[in-house]
């Protein structure tokens, strides 16, 4: 038995960021991870062929590069090997009619593409980009602050002081709007609306769901203004750097060490019991980087002592599932719409707002969508080091999918468990990509398919293949993430805290929940 100041359950990037900060504050920390590798959904592996490095889940590291944690610890992270690959051509969409639109960090390039569709839309884009620094100040302050009365009051006061009542209400309206509402108010071209709306699908926001407009807005404006970054060699560059910080500061990281129980005495978390039977004591905090459903009756066999909290954790809503298809390629896809698409980090394949809405509803109903939204990542267009010379990897995220299959919207695949149908569904996905990039299959050297069930097997936090660890709809976001009264990472059990994508500020690679919790516990 060993004694630590803080014990972490799980080694996702939020846990590692929290452990790194506390370790540097003099805390004795230990991180226990059930898997043989650390990083949670931020991992990179040779899933197809030797020499081809694929990001398991997260690929875009822009949130981490712009995070408060990175601003504070950039030098330390760099000393432990953190390296970014900057992206100039950030994201694009290709359409069945042969047209395409893409956002690059060169404003004139983006505006020129917009002008080919609509002079009005090109003018709107310039206006939005010009106003973005002022708007971003308030939105990033909100998203980067704890969900406390004091922090919210400060954000509201700053917003009112800078923008006045009308401007503050405009910002609030953006936060409450659906993607379709905001896009139709600002852009007249369906192709442009659809390109931007695809970002909402990354975070469980189909076009008509309230609260989703802010994500297409922020992603498009930030990419235009700052570009994007990937991890040099793979997204796991941030994991290796974080782990290096923890260990250099004296912290312990143990893999293959599953926590079976968080021990509690007198209403206070006292440590953990591993599946091996070993006990470890935590004098100040146990920090669980787990999905909320893993607490009551599992890590807390007798519950938290608060029936309402336990019910909220059990009822925590997860987003629809995803499938990941990793391809080792002889060459990048030959996109019919334009060879220029080969330069982009992401190419979305989603024909329209209505098609995205239909896909989402099909998945919610338990149906295999006939036309899933495809996020085609081309990391080797930016970072050739991820594959052997002149070869490439393709990162295909398939959204949205049911965790349990009740039927097939196309009527071609018989209902069954994911293990039985994943290859057939992967063929549907490849057929869709082929329709935009003929000849793709002839370029494939190797492939690996992870169904929603496979994703959950690899990482139990990805419940039903939900890669964002919980819906971000308004009823489960801000003050309600993961539940009302518990948005500051605390639980009814003293000294027990939650961190990770299920907690405020939610999914992404920004390490926000881990760092803010670390500051709350150990000081800035």
Spell out the per-residue pLDDT of the chain, length 524, in tens: 799 999 999 999 999 999 999 999 999 999 999 999 999 999 999 999 999 999 999 999 999 999 999 999 999 999 999 999 999 999 999 999 999 999 999 999 999 999 999 999 999 999 999 999 999 999 999 999 999 888 888 888 888 888 898 888 999 999 999 999 999 999 999 999 999 999 999 999 999 999 999 999 999 999 999 999 999 999 999 999 999 999 999 999 999 999 999 999 999 999 999 999 999 999 999 999 999 999 999 999 999 999 999 999 999 999 999 999 999 999 999 999 999 999 999 999 999 999 999 999 999 999 999 999 999 999 999 999 999 999 999 999 999 999 999 999 999 999 999 999 999 999 999 999 999 999 999 999 999 999 999 999 999 999 999 999 999 999 999 999 999 999 999 999 999 999 999 999 999 999 999 999 999 999 99
Backbone angles phi, psi at 339, to 5 degrees: -65, -20
Q: In the chain, count H helices and then E strands.
A: 16, 20
The predicted pLDDT at position 148 comes to 86
Query: Global pTM?
Result: 0.97
Q: How far apart are CA 257 and CA 262, in angstroms?
A: 13
Domain with CATH 3.50.50.60 in the chain: 2-40+68-82+236-316+470-522
Which among 228, 226, 198 is positioned nearest to 93, based on CA atoms? 198
The predicted pLDDT at position 168 comes to 87
Residue 153: partners with Cβ closer than 8 Å, 6 or more residues away: none
The predicted pLDDT at position 77 comes to 98
Q: How far apart are CA 377 and CA 17, in angstroms?
A: 26
Tokens of 302: 């007798």
CATH of domain 2-40+68-82+236-316+470-522: 3.50.50.60
The predicted pLDDT at position 300 comes to 98
Q: Is the dihedral of CA 260, 266, 271, 276 positive or negative?
A: negative
Task: Give helix 119-143 / helix 149-176 axis angle, nearest 10°.
Answer: 160
Where helices occur in 59-101 by DSSP H, the ranges are 62-65, 68-79
State the maximum Cα–Cα separation within the chain, in Å, rounded to a whole number: 69
The predicted pLDDT at position 149 comes to 83
Where helices occur in 91-189 by DSSP H, the ranges are 107-117, 119-143, 149-176, 179-186
Q: How far apart are CA 179 and CA 165, in angstroms?
A: 23
Helix (H) or strand (E) holding 248: helix 237-248
**DSSP class per residue in 167-226:** HHHHHHHHHH--HHHHHHHH---HHHHHHHHHHHHHTT--TTSTT-THHHHHHHHHHHHH
The predicted pLDDT at position 259 comes to 98
Helix (H) or strand (E) holding 397: strand 392-401
Tokens of 226: 């700052």
Tokens of 221: 């404006």
């Amino acid at each position: 038995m060993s004694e630590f100041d803080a014990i972490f359950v799980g080694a996702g990037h939020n846990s590692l960021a929290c452990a790194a900060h506390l370790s540097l504050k003099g805390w004795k920390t230990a991180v226990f991870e059930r898997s043989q590798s650390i990083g949670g959904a931020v991992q990179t592996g040779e899933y197809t062929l030797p020499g081809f490095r694929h990001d398991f889940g997260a690929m875009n590291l822009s949130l981490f590069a712009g995070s408060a944690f990175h601003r504070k610890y950039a030098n330390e992270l760099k000393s432990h090997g953190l390296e970014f690959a900057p992206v100039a051509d950030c994201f694009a969409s290709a359409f069945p009619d042969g047209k395409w639109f893409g956002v690059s960090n060169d404003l004139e390039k983006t505006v020129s593409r917009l002008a080919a569709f609509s002079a009005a839309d090109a003018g709107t884009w310039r206006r939005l980009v010009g106003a973005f620094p002022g708007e971003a100040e308030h939105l990033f302050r909100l998203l980067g602050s704890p969900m406390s009365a004091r922090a919210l009051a400060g954000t509201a006061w700053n917003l009112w002081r800078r923008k006045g009542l009308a401007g503050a209400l405009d910002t609030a309206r953006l936060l409450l709007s659906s993607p379709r509402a905001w896009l139709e108010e600002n852009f007249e071209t369906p192709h442009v609306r659809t390109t931007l709306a695809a970002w909402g699908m990354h975070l469980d926001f189909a076009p008509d769901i309230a609260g989703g407009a802010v994500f297409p807005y922020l992603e498009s404006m930030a990419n235009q203004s700052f570009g994007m970054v990937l991890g040099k060699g793979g997204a796991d560059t941030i994991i290796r750097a974080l782990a290096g910080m923890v260990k250099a500061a004296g912290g312990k990281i143990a893999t293959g060490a599953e926590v079976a129980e968080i021990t509690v005495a007198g209403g206070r978390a006292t440590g953990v019991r591993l599946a091996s039977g070993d006990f470890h004591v935590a004098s100040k905090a146990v920090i669980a980087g787990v999905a909320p459903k893993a607490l009551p009756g599992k890590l807390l066999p007798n519950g938290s002592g608060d029936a309402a909290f336990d019910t909220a954790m059990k009822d925590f809503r997860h987003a629809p599932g995803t499938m990941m298809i990793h391809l080792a390629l002889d060459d990048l896809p030959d996109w019919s719409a334009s060879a220029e698409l080969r330069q982009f980090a992401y190419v979305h394949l989603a024909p329209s707002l209505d098609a995205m809405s239909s896909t989402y509803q099909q998945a919610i109903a338990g149906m295999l969508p006939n036309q899933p939204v495809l996020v085609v990542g081309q990391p080797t267009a930016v970072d050739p080091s991820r594959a052997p010379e002149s070869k490439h990897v393709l990162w295909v995220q398939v959204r949205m999918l049911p965790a349990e299959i009740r039927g097939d919207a196309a009527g071609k695949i018989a209902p069954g468990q994911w293990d039985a149908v994943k290859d057939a569904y992967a063929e549907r996905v490849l057929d869709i990509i082929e329709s935009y990039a003929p000849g793709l299959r002839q370029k494939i050297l190797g492939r690996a398919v992870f169904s929603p069930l496979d994703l959950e097997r690899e990482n139990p936090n990805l419940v039903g293949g939900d890669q964002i660890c919980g819906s971000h709809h308004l009823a489960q976001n801000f003050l309600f993430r993961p539940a009302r009264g518990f948005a500051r990472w605390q639980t009814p059990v003293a000294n027990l805290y939650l961190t990770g994508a299920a907690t405020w500020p939610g999914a992404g690679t920004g390490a926000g929940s881990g760092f803010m919790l670390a500051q709350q516990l150990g000081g800035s």
